[in-house]
Structures are given as structure tokens and as C-alpha cells.
Amino acid sequence: MGSDSDLPTMDSAIKILEDFEVALEVRILSAHRTPLEMFKFAQEAEDKGLKVILAGAGGAAHLPGMIASITVIPVIGVPIQSKALSGVDSLHSIVQMPNGIPVGTVAIGGGVNAGLLAVQILANTDSDLKAKIVNYRQYIHDKVIEKDTKLIELGASKYLEETKLT
């Protein structure tokens, strides 16, 4: 991530990776304030065995694209919600990469999906991880069915009252 202020967003990706027991390295590397360290990280990533890089960045949000320009490892950009433009600036900076240097991009603040996308990429060559993703998908499916059943039984007003969604 470009700054420690990005950690609350990236923490959800970290937790997903930990839940799926994926080894990870968490760093603060700024494309603008620590370009040499960022360059070294990207240059050495493949030799370190990294298979996917998640890069959270806000504002000008050049970190994901700069890393992607240095390595052929897939990079997933996570736009951080900014104060000035609510993360739209971050999203546009990450998603508008020039031809030849792709960066996969998730929603503004989309740490959970970034983590899950990384797990899915890794699961292409890891059958145990693939089984975990399949189980996770079944779990989230079952949670929605439970909520739907409860809503049907209680009705909307009582459901809202009991779940404190209002």
C-alpha cells in the first residue's frame, strides 16, 4: 500500500488471505515518496516467489500501475477512498492503464474482493485452495438463503427490527 492510511482498506484483503491460509507480505511502498524501494520490491517479487500482488493506493494512485510496469506478476489494484473525490480519483488512476500494462482493479475500498480474486488466481494451480474457494462460495450462498428464509418468516418490518439494519 502507498501509505499506512490505506491499511484499514487493505486489512480486509489481508484477513481474507489469512483466512485462506495464503502466505503474504505486507508493505508500505509509495510510488511517489519511495520510488526506489517500490522499484526494488517489484523487481525482486518473482524471485521471492510472489504470485499475485495487491496494491492499494489513493489519490493519484500510481502504485499498482508502477508495480505492474516492472513485473509480469498479476497486479490487483485497490482504489482507496480519498477525501477529495471519494476514491473516484483513485479508481480512475488505477483502471486507466495504457495498453500492454494491465492492472486488475476492484471497487473503491474493495479489499475483500481483492483478497478473494488473489485467492482465485492462486487456486488455478492449487487444488486445496480451489476447494476452499468452493466451500466459501457455498457458505456465502447459504447465508443469503438463511436471510431470505428469515425475511419471509418475519416480514420486512420485524426483520429490520431484529437485525438492526435500520
| Count of C-beta atoms within a 10 Å radius of residue 107 | 13
DSSP secondary structure, the chain, as one string:
--SGGGHHHHHHHHHHHHHTT---------TTTSHHHHHHHHHHTTTTT---EEEEE-TT--HHHHHHHH--S-EEEEEPPPTTTTTHHHHHHHH-PPTT---EE--TT-HHHHHHHHHHHHHTT-HHHHHHHHHHHHHHHHHHHHHHHHHHHH-HHHHHHHHT--
Per-residue pLDDT at 116 exceeds 70: yes
Structure confidence by residue, pLDDT tens digits, 62-89: 999 999 999 999 999 999 998 889 999 9
Q: Which pTM value belongs to this model? A: 0.93
pLDDT number for residue 166: 62
Per-residue pLDDT at 161 exceeds 70: yes
Per-residue pLDDT at 3 exceeds 90: yes
Share of the chain above pLDDT 70, in %: 99
Average of pLDDT values for 143-156? 97
Cβ-based burial of 51 (10 A; exposed 0-12, middle 13-18, buried ≥19): middle
